[in-house]
Amino acid sequence: MSRFRATLGLDLHVEIDPAAGRRSGLEHALRAAIREGRLAPRTRLPSTRALAAEAGLSRNTVSAAYDQLIAEGYLTARRGSGTSVADVGTRAPDAPGRAGAAAVPAHDLRPGRPDVTTFPAAAWIRATRRVLNRVSPSAYGYGDPRGAPELRAALADYLGRTRGVQATSERIVVTAGAVQALALLARVLGTAVAMEDPGLPFHREVVRRAGARVLPLPVDARGARTDLIGTEAGAVVVTPAHQYPTGVTLHPARRHALVEWARGGGLVIEDDYDGEFRYDRQPVGALQGMAPDHVAYLGTASKTLAPGLRLAWLVLPPHLVGPVVEAKLHADHHTETLGQLVLADLVTGHVYDRHVRACRLRYRRRRDLLVARLGPSAVHGVAAGLHALIIPGHEDEDETLARCAAHGVAVEALGPHWHDAAPREGRPHGVIAGYGTPPEHAYPAALDALAAALRP
């Protein structure tokens, strides 16, 4: 094992395995240092000349290693600024519900994650300054468990204008993320809840831990099978605009059937997690607009801005506002206030609209590239959201996942999303790929790696 420290303003300890070859050994050593967090994002690396001299390698070898890591998204290079560690490749926690931590893969195509490098930091800073300059000292005290009045008023206007939601600020409750909102509803309802099959396993577990029994609701090419809700369920959780993970939209006839079911005494919980992102037509309006007294609408800033904000909202039927607010009070008293006020400023100033439109264009281009690279027959679901269901047409899911892992690509299998994960005849096999996470410079290489992994 060859060890050296690169200097030139950076003390860098790198170990190169001679058995791996000079270039491959250097690539592996730098990649490992980035994955393990020993090289932090935006750390500037030595020049190719300096690193070659320190390591006893040719400059061409170092240049080739840098170029490969740039293509994989580990490094970035800008004229006049040298080569630096990219924002990907550092340690990050596993998905919710899993213990421990794991290194971010070379090509992160896990679904449900936005490109957080697009977060409008400058606009957020300006809005924060405006908020801090005008708020009263009471903003720093204990807040309303329903959420800041400014944000609730801004959301009532925004949701009515963009999603067709019938809302007043009195019917909106701000929560610390969509997971808390779903848990609060399940706890308050105290009834069996039908959830889409396939659907997000973590959300099923959230509902179960809140004390509710979960019933499977099959999904086909027209969305949730509303004719199979049954008599046991008192509530139904659906993703009608863009079903997760199949990517279909709820057929209009089934939308009407679901509303009629709710008017008979049930409650529809509409998870509109990525409703703003439709690329082939105008976004489908929210189901809540058809029956506002029978639908609890759930929206979030996690996909449009960033999950780290922990801001989501419920638009509730009148009879549920009091019980949910009471449950919220005893869950965390109130959601942090300053972030709510900043978001309200961005919404009322239409900065939020402009950001969503820019993201819509960016994600549309990414999905178009995905379809062009893999072929339209392999990519299922409507042109929307941040993920696509991919059915390669060969191999089973374990083999597909193994091939993806071998190419450094992280995706998710469809199998665990079924309520009953046991294999069944006729059930499709596939993987779910997200196209939101990789930053712009790393996305083409991620698609190349995915295409290579899925190639028969």
Report pLDDT for 398.
84
How crowded is the C-beta side of 151, counted as CA atoms within 13 Å? 29
**Cα dihedral: 33, 38, 40, 44 (round 10):** -70
Strand partners, 76: 84
Q: 105 and 64 share a domain?
A: no
Give me the mean pLDDT over the 243-268 stretch: 96
Q: 242 and 203 share a domain?
A: yes
Residue 2 confidence (pLDDT) above 60: no
CA–CA separation, 436 vs 220, rounded Å?
A: 25
Give me the mean pLDDT over the 421-427 stretch: 69
- Domain end, chosen from 350, 371, 405, is at 350
Question: For the domain that residue 165 is a member of, what is the CATH number?
Answer: 3.40.640.10
Q: Report DSSP state, residue 278.
A: B
Q: 165 and 49 share a domain?
A: no
Q: 180 and 275 share a domain?
A: yes
CA–CA separation, 328 vs 162, rounded Å?
A: 27
Q: Report DSSP state, residue 6.
A: E
Q: 56 and 25 share a domain?
A: yes
pLDDT, one tens digit per residue, over 152-207 is 999 999 999 999 999 999 999 999 999 999 999 999 999 999 999 999 999 999 99
H-helix or E-strand spanning residue 447: helix 443-454
Number of structural domains in the chain: 3
Asked if 437 contacts 106 with a C-beta cutoff of 8 angstroms, the reply is no
Question: For the domain that residue 22 is a member of, what is the CATH number?
Answer: 1.10.10.10
CA–CA separation, 66 vs 62, rounded Å?
A: 6
Q: 149 and 297 share a domain?
A: yes
From 436, 430, 386, 391, select the one nearest 242 (Cα to Cα).
Answer: 386
pLDDT band at 57 (very low <50, low <70, confident <90, very high): confident
Question: For the domain that residue 413 is a member of, what is the CATH number?
Answer: 3.90.1150.10
Question: pLDDT > 90: what percent of the chain?
Answer: 66
Residue for token pair 């992280």: 410
**Cα dihedral: 331, 271, 267, 200 (round 10):** -80
Report pLDDT for 269.
98
Asked if 160 contacts 167 with a C-beta cutoff of 8 angstroms, the reply is yes
pLDDT, one tens digit per residue, over 207-223 is 999 999 999 999 999 99
Query: Angle at the Cα of 299 (from 442 to 355), degrees rounded to 5?
Result: 45
Report pLDDT for 92.
40
Q: 299 and 379 share a domain?
A: no
Query: Angle at the Cα of 146 (from 141 to 152), degrees rounded to 5?
Result: 100
Asked if 223 contacts 243 with a C-beta cutoff of 8 angstroms, the reply is yes
For residue 438, give both structure tokens: 């990789």
For residue 362, give both structure tokens: 């960016």
Residue 6 confidence (pLDDT) above 80: no
CA–CA separation, 370 vs 273, rounded Å?
A: 21
Q: 97 and 68 share a domain?
A: no
Report pLDDT for 338.
95
Q: Report DSSP state, residue 234.
A: S
CA–CA separation, 18 vs 24, rounded Å?
A: 9
Report pLDDT for 103.
59
Domain that holds residue 132: 121-350
Rounded to 5 degrees, φ, ψ at 188 are -70, -40
From 435, 456, 426, select the one nearest 389 (Cα to Cα).
Answer: 435
Q: Kindly report which listed range (73-82, 110-119, 192-201) carries the lowest average pLDDT score.
A: 73-82
Question: pLDDT > 70: what percent of the chain?
Answer: 91
Q: 138 and 60 share a domain?
A: no
Give me the mean pLDDT over the 21-26 stretch: 82
CA–CA separation, 277 vs 37, rounded Å?
A: 33
For residue 412, give both structure tokens: 């998710």
Q: 318 and 382 share a domain?
A: no
3-state secondary structure 90-151: CEEECCCCCCCEEECCCEECCCCCCCHHHCCHHHHHHHHHHHHHHCCHHHHCCCCCCCCHHH
How crowded is the C-beta side of 21, counted as CA atoms within 13 Å? 7
- Domain end, chosen from 350, 385, 404, is at 350
Give me the mean pLDDT over the 246-271 stretch: 96
Q: 141 and 272 share a domain?
A: yes
Report pLDDT for 101.
44
Q: Kindly report which listed range (3-12, 76-85, 266-275, 384-393) carries the lowest average pLDDT score.
A: 3-12
Residue 258 confidence (pLDDT) above 50: yes
Report pLDDT for 322.
97
Give the other-Cβ count within 10 Å of 38's Cβ. Answer: 14
pLDDT, one tens digit per residue, over 325-347 is 999 999 999 999 999 999 999 99
Q: 232 and 307 share a domain?
A: yes
Report pLDDT for 48.
86
Amino acid code (one letter) for 315: V
H-helix or E-strand spanning residue 5: strand 2-6
Give the other-Cβ count within 10 Å of 75's Cβ. Answer: 25
pLDDT, one tens digit per residue, over 139-165 is 899 989 999 999 999 999 999 999 999
Q: Which long-range contacts (CB under 8 A, 24 or more apart) does 330-333 make?
A: 331/180, 331/183, 331/184, 332/176, 332/180, 333/142, 333/145
Give me the mean pLDDT over the 121-142 stretch: 94
Q: Is the pTM of this model over 0.75?
A: yes
Q: Which residue has the higher pLDDT, 204 or 105?
A: 204
Report pLDDT for 71.
74
E-assigned strands of 130-260? 172-175, 193-197, 214-220, 223-224, 235-238
Mean pLDDT of the chain: 89
Report pLDDT for 429.
84
Asked if 6 contacts 49 with a C-beta cutoff of 8 angstroms, the reply is no
- Domain end, chosen from 324, 350, 376, is at 350
Report pLDDT for 435.
93
